[in-house]
Amino acid sequence: MRIGVFVCWCGSNIAKTVDVEAVAEAAKSFPGVVYATDYKYMCSEPGQNMVAEAIKEHNLDRVVIASCSPRLHEPTFQRCIGAAGLNPYMVEMANIREQCSWVHERTPETTEKAIELTRMAVAKVARNVPLFQNDIGITKRALVIGGGVAGIQAALDIADAGHPVVLVERTPSIGGRMAQYDKTFPTLDCAACILTPKMVDCASHPLIDIWAYSEVEEVNGFVGNFDVKIRKKATCVDPKLCTGCGLCLEKCIVKDVPSEFDEGMGLRRAIYSPFPQAVPNKPVIDREHCRIFNGGKCGVCQKVCPTGAISYDTVDEVVEEKFGAIVVSTGFELWDHSALGNYGYGKYPDVISSIQFERIMNASGPTEGHIVRPSDGKTPKSIAFISCVGSRDDEHGHAYCSKVCCMYNAKQALLVKDKLHDVETYVFYMDIRANGKGYEEFVKRTIEDYGANYIRGRISKIYPDGDQMVVKGADTLLGKAVEVRADLVVLATAMQPQHDAKDLARKLGISTDQYNWFSEAHPKLKPVEVLTDGIYLAGACQYPKDIPDTVAQASGAASKAIGLFSKDAIKSEPMIAYIYEDTCVGCGLCVDVCPFTAIELVEVVDKERSTRDNQVVKTVARINEGVCKGCGTCSAACRSLSARLRGFEGSGILAQIDALADMVKIKK
């Protein structure tokens, strides 16, 4: 055994508090060490060359780098010694920076600790064995979950790169939230005008399959090889026969279903398309409201359909498909503020949410773009916009900022002034957060050119007086109470994760944060990835985002999928768990504790008990190598020491502990 030890100064990061030369000197006496040295920056090119040359010159077979956290430079030095002809896994890092020099003063004890950490790494590397990567094939086909602007963008980008995409959307049409909006800040493009071309592109793209009215039921497998069960809900309408003529919608006799798309401000039929530009433009029957499914007699839609596309006995279909990558773009919901009494939402018809106001402003909305109040249809003379309703509000479970409300408040206050010249607008805000390209200028324009009255303060109560609403609160800049009479009150309610985000996270095996937003792999450096390889996030399912950020992230997620598909096979990570089947008793505890569902129980021949004439089987655990992330939970749980982690075998860990114990004993 010929171990080389390389002690890094990390400039002054380590050398300032640790006597690096003393560490290198001490290392020379460790068992198996034939060469030890120190250098200013081990990770630099000259530093790496030094390691490579020492391997050749001193015929080293194992290397210890005493420097920073393996999270930073373990791959660097694995590559370095790999290029020098060693197996890349014959290197160990002793973290004498984060775990030593950064957290201690310059004392002899600090150097002593660095020596002990290095000694432990030497003990472990002496027991390292070569590990090898395997090739795993991949399915070059992506699943995009959620057909809002994020999912649409991701699907288009992946398909444009030449890979087939299935875009799953649970409502009857793609388009998502953006399709509901009137204009978009800060440029005031009409949302539909910029979104519908993309929707149509999706529909006509030869590589994109849109599965609307469908939901993901179960996800198995791993990066490059996901097996996904998708439920295609019964629509009663044969998409191959339906021409989208809309006759059924006109003739349906159930006319009083509140429209989800219009946020309850308008009505729809029992057979419906959510909006005129729906893609796919095929209606579905809402079985909850259709007479046929509620014991009634009807069948009008079937009778009027010119192509005979409607049949009432279709059933849900569950299909199982293979995908290599999954983009999650399931978006957000808005907080239902009616649970809370003092703003009167849900109680007073003229207190509405911002998304309802979007529908009122929208030319294709329930009022055809005429701004009127829901109670009496009158044109409002004064409108109060209230921001942070639920957002930045620990008490109501959203400590975070919903990020887009300041901007759409400004947009709505501007647009309404554009349409109704003699309206007075009031915007109640906590802070104005307008940190995007052209955003600050936009808010300024609303205030200065469109005369919106911005009042800094929170609202305590909204109540009716005559045919107006009284908005009561505090002006925190003037330091006095403020009361505004408004014909219409618009509440900017908090964005929150989809109510079933947690369920989807469970199906996908990804994690969520305290609010149930999906968690990214790293807040700064891996904002698109999640901890499960091959699954990427796009849009507001991760955290509130505006349209530009959503689209940018969607393209980012797509590029990650395309990058994955640019290879024919992926390298498996060799530092994963394996089962020593001879001693495994098949108790299944590892199956229960595995956070990645990477372990299953299988039957194998029991070598101990089988004879030539009588083959006996026993149950043992088996690791799915593509799914295992090498977290080691199974090996910690296993009582018979049969679940083991490559690169972190018990013998190596015990050798480290023994080495430390020896050094402590010597000191005593």
- Collect all residues with Cβ–Cβ distance below 8 Å to 448 and sequence separation of at least 6: none
Among 187, 583, 597, 615, contact with another protein (rule: CB under 8 A): 583
Please say whether the beta carbons of 650 and 591 come within 8 A.
no
Q: Site size for another protein, by CB under 8 A?
A: 23
Q: Provide the minimum distance between the beta carbon of 628 and another protein in the complex, in angstroms, as a whole number.
A: 17
Q: Provide the minimum distance between the beta carbon of 27 and another protein in the complex, in angstroms, as a whole number.
A: 24
Closest to another protein by CB, 136 vs 587, is 587
The number of residues in the chain equals 668
Q: Provide the minimum distance between the beta carbon of 254 and another protein in the complex, in angstroms, as a whole number.
A: 42
- 9: left (phi > 0), else alpha (psi -120 to 50), else beta? alpha
Bridge partners, residue 393, by sequence: 398
Q: What are the φ/ψ torsions at residue 19 (nearest 5 degrees)?
A: -80, 90
Closest to another protein by CB, 427 vs 621, is 621
Please tell me whether residue 651 binds another protein under the rule CB under 8 A: yes
Of 32-40, 476-484, 571-579, 639-647: span binding another protein (CB under 8 A):
639-647
Q: Provide the minimum distance between the beta carbon of 99 and another protein in the complex, in angstroms, as a whole number.
A: 20
Among 587, 604, 631, 663, contact with another protein (rule: CB under 8 A): 587
Please tell me whether residue 650 binds another protein under the rule CB under 8 A: yes
Q: Which of residues 588-627 bind another protein (CB under 8 A)?
A: 588-589, 591-593, 601, 608, 616, 619
Of 5-13, 201-209, 250-258, 635-643: span binding another protein (CB under 8 A):
635-643
Rg (CA), the chain: 32
- Collect all residues with Cβ–Cβ distance below 8 Å to 384 and sequence separation of at least 6: 425, 426, 427, 428, 469, 471, 484, 486, 488, 489, 490
Among 58, 640, 662, 664, contact with another protein (rule: CB under 8 A): 640
Q: How far apart are CA 403 and CA 407, in angstroms?
A: 8
- 457: left (phi > 0), else alpha (psi -120 to 50), else beta? left
Among 34, 372, 653, 663, contact with another protein (rule: CB under 8 A): 653
Of 13-21, 177-185, 423-431, 649-657: span binding another protein (CB under 8 A):
649-657
Token couple for 291: 């007479």
Q: Provide the minimum distance between the beta carbon of 401 and another protein in the complex, in angstroms, as a whole number.
A: 25
Among 47, 586, 630, 647, contact with another protein (rule: CB under 8 A): 586
Q: Provide the minimum distance between the beta carbon of 130 and another protein in the complex, in angstroms, as a whole number.
A: 18
Q: Provide the minimum distance between the beta carbon of 505 and another protein in the complex, in angstroms, as a whole number.
A: 12
Closest to another protein by CB, 485 vs 618, is 618
Closest to another protein by CB, 69 vs 583, is 583
**49-86 CB burial, b ≥16 within 10 A, e <16:** ebbbebbeeeebbbbbbbbbebeebbebbbebbeebeb
- Tell me the one-letter amino acid at 305: C
If you ran DSSP here, which 8-state letter would residue 427 be given? E
What's the first-to-final CA gap in the chain, in angstroms? Answer: 29
* Interacting residues with another protein (CB under 8 A): 582-583, 585-589, 591-593, 601, 608, 616, 619, 637, 639-641, 649-651, 653-654
